[in-house]
């Protein structure tokens, strides 16, 4: 192992296992995953349904503890920090974007963002200008007073991205962010993620079923049956031949 690379990684997963249930009902969702992500990387994760992609995100994002193995995220050893530690991780270091948007239905877009800020306890002060730029980039500045039911799917997902970024997470975990969007909105969201990465160096992990969408990352990680089977670099269009 290269010590320096390891020290610089923002996500360091070693021999990660996750088993749901016990005995004959046990499901081995992850069977020894190893993954290292550097700050500022944009990693696409692809693989068949049930291969453990979401489970990997849930563990990296601190929604559920690993069964075995070591997971270090933003300097925290997830297997050692317990429930409240994982809550703190979600609050401070990791943000999710889901396929189903998951906005709070009775709050306006602006209030959805405010809730995240309020929970994180982090003032937006020094970040205000950047965040306004992000809102412009997302194209939802005019839609903030609306409730989710008054927004299109594409708009809802862009609000969800704004909410995820308002707390300045070290890592953005996007689980099929374009899964519920038409191709035009999918393209818009993918471009936004890519420019967030380019412009702000936002570390992004994105699960996708589309091989085209996967091309927006720097690397593509292939999963199958609870294991990572391949990691490949995306060849920039200009370099291909």
Region near another protein per CB under 8 A, out of 96-104, 138-146, 202-210, 221-229:
96-104
Cβ burial 45-82 (10 Å sphere, 16+ → b, else e): bbbeeebbbbbbbbbbbbbebbbebebbbbebebbebe
52 binds, among ligand ATP, Mg ion, another protein, none (CB under 5 to 8 A by kind): ligand ATP
Q: Phi, psi (5° rounding) for residue 88?
A: -65, -40
Residues near 150 by beta carbon (within 8 Å), at least 6 away in sequence: none
Nearest to 162 by CA among 100, 105, 115: 115
Task: Measure Cα distances from 213 to 140, 170, 197, 206 in Å.
Answer: 22, 22, 15, 9
What are the structure tokens assigned to 84, written together?
């409240």
Q: Indicate the residue among 40 and 65 with the shorter CB distance to another protein.
A: 65
DSSP output for 64-94: S--SEEEEEETTEEHHHHHHHHHHHHHHHTE
Q: Is 19 in the site for another protein (CB under 8 A)?
A: no
The least distance separating Mg ion from the CB of residue 207, rounded to whole angstroms, comes to 6
Task: Check binding of 145 to another protein (CB under 8 A).
Answer: no
Contacts of 196 (CB under 8 A, 6+ apart): 134, 137, 161, 165, 172, 202, 204
* Count of C-beta atoms within a 10 Å radius of residue 165: 23
- Here's the x/- map for another protein, 32-61, by CB under 8 A: it reads as --------------------------x--x
Nearer to Mg ion, 54 or 112 (CB): 54
Using the minimum distance from each CB to ligand ATP, give the nearer residue, 53 or 158: 53
Report the nearest approach of Mg ion to the CB of residue 175 (Å). Answer: 6
Least CB distance from residue 7 to ligand ATP, whole Å?
29
Binding site partner of 116, from ligand ATP, Mg ion, another protein, none, Cβ cut-off 5-8 A by kind = another protein
Minimal distance, residue 93 CB to another protein, in Å: 9
Footprint of Mg ion (CB under 5 A):
54
Q: Tell which one of 39, 40, 50, 153 touches ligand ATP (CB under 6 A).
A: 50
Q: Residue 27, interface with ligand ATP (CB under 6 A)?
A: yes
In whole angstroms, give the CA distance from residue 175 to residue 168: 18
What whole-number distance in Å separates Cα of residue 193 and Cα of residue 196? 5
Q: Does residue number 211 form part of the binding site for ligand ATP (CB under 6 A)?
A: no
Q: Identify the bridge partners of residue 77 per DSSP, sorted by sequence position.
A: 72
Asked if residue 54 binds ligand ATP (CB under 6 A), the reply is yes
Residue numbers of the site for ligand ATP (CB under 6 A)? 20-21, 27, 29, 47, 49-55
Residue numbers of the site for another protein (CB under 8 A)? 58, 61, 63-64, 84, 87-92, 95-96, 98, 102-107, 111, 114-120, 163, 167
């Amino acid at each position: 192992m290269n010590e320096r690379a390891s020290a610089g990684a923002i996500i360091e997963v070693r021999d990660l296992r996750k088993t749901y249930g016990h005995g004959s009902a046990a499901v081995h969702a992850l069977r020894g995953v190893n993954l290292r992500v550097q700050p500022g990387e944009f990693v696409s994760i692809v693989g068949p349904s049930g291969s453990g992609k979401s489970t990997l995100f849930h563990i990296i994002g601190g929604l559920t503890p690993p069964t075995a193995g070591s997971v270090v995220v933003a300097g925290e050893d997830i297997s050692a920090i317990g429930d409240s530690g994982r809550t703190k991780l979600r609050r401070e270091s990791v943000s999710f974007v889901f396929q189903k948007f998951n906005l709070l239905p009775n709050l306006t877009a602006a209030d959805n963002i405010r809730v995240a800020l309020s929970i994180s306890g982090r003032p937006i002060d020094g970040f205000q200008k950047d965040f306004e730029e992000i809102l412009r980039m997302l194209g939802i500045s005019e839609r903030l007073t609306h409730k989710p039911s008054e927004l299109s799917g594409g708009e809802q997902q862009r609000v969800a991205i704004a909410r995820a970024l308002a707390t300045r997470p070290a890592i953005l975990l996007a689980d099929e962010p374009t899964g519920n969007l038409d191709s035009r909105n999918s393209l818009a969201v993918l471009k936004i993620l890519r420019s967030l990465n380019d412009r702000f160096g936002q570390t992004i992990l994105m699960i996708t079923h589309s091989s085209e969408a996967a091309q927006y990352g720097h690397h593509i990680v292939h999963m199958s049956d609870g294991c990572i089977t391949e990691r490949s670099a995306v060849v920039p269009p200009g370099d291909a031949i």
